[in-house]
Amino acid sequence: MPVTPESILILGGTKEAAELAGRLTELGVSRVVTSLAGRTAAPEMPAGETRIGGFGGAQGLADFLRSEAFELLVDATHPFADTISHNAVEAAVISGIPLMTLRRPAWTAVDGDHWFPVASVDEACTAIPPSARVFLALGRQHIDGFAQRTDVHFIARMVDPPERPLPFRSCDLVIGKPSADPGTEAELLRTYGVTHIVCRNSGGQGAYAKLIAARDLGLPVIMIERPDTPDDRSYPTVDALLADIT
């Protein structure tokens, strides 16, 4: 049976990271520290200790790992948070402290899906056909580049009202979280006359219902694929990762 580390640093900011911190704490690991970037004003605090803010690059993270005598680093950040994931790999090499990665699997298209994979937000913008009505399922920080498409009507969904007006020539703003019910998502897409969806391949269940709705309605999806993040010792679920360290 593997030896359970007694001191673990989790790079967090995801539901899975919080679940892992809870499970490790329940298992009696002496020190579980979750690191958050500090982007959210009032983040939910995971079990165990929390620290907030960047480390100052890979070297800073390596110094932190060594000075606090961590025995294991777990990268449980979002699949699109690629800078911190590359830093984690480098910091593990510099510090000699082992790294495990928890990364939810990407979605894959099934029969009935009409997905058009693109590598970036810029490519997604170019891939939109003229005069489309596009449902933008992207965070506020990723939408500005689409403003150049003055021929397109955008429907942007956001959890909180934006601090400044949206940059589009023509748009609707929908305030609210994604629904877990494909029927509700389909109703929204129909109501706004959506012809295309643009989203990122985040994986997981939370945002999948809109893709089922798109399938049911025969709508094309411009899918921004994940950045190229290191996949060594990568685990798809909390259970799989725990099985290797407990």
Ligand X SMILES: NC(=O)c1ccc[n+]([C@@H]2O[C@H](COP(=O)([O-])OP(=O)(O)OC[C@H]3O[C@@H](n4cnc5c(N)ncnc54)[C@H](OP(=O)(O)O)[C@@H]3O)[C@@H](O)[C@H]2O)c1
Which of 8, 9, 11, 241 lies at the binding interface for ligand X (CB under 6 A)?
A: 11
Going 169 to 175 to 181 to 183, the CA torsion angle's sign is negative
| Cβ pair 49, 32 in contact under 8 A | yes
- Answer yes or no: are the C-beta atoms of 204 and 176 closer than 8 Å: no
Q: How far is the CB of 170 from ligand X (least distance, A)?
A: 26
The tokens for 2 are: 């593997």
Q: For ligand X, which stretch binds (CB under 6 A), given 12-20, 128-136, 147-155, 174-182?
A: 12-20
Shortest Cβ distance from residue 103 to ligand X (Å)?
Answer: 11
Q: Tokens 């449980």 — which residue?
A: 76
Q: Return the range that interacts with ligand X (CB under 6 A); candidates 10-18, 123-131, 190-198, 209-217.
A: 10-18
Q: Locate tokens 């329940």: which residue?
A: 26
Per-residue interface string for the shown chain with ligand X, residues 111-140, x marking contact by CB under 6 A: ------------------------------
Considering the rule CB under 6 A, would residue 78 count as an interface residue with ligand X? yes
Taking the complex as a whole, the smallest distance from the CB of residue 79 to ligand X amounts, in Å, to: 8
Q: Which two tokens stand for residue 18?
A: 């919080």
At residue 161, φ and ψ (nearest 5 deg) are: -60, 140
Nearer Cβ to ligand X (29/137): 137
CB of 201 to ligand X, least distance (A): 11
Q: Interacting stretch for ligand X, rule CB under 6 A, among 23-31, 34-42, 65-73, 229-237?
A: 34-42
For residues 63 and 216, which CB has a smaller minimum distance to ligand X in the complex? 63
- Strands 72-75 and 7-11 turn out to be parallel
- Please name every residue paired with 174 in a beta bridge, in sequence order, or none if there are none: 157
Strand order in the sheet with 49-52: 49-52, 31-36, 7-11, 72-75, 99-102, 234-235
- Closer to ligand X at the Cβ: 39 or 169? 39
Return residues touching ligand X (CB under 6 A).
11-14, 35-37, 39, 54-57, 60-61, 77-78, 80-84, 87
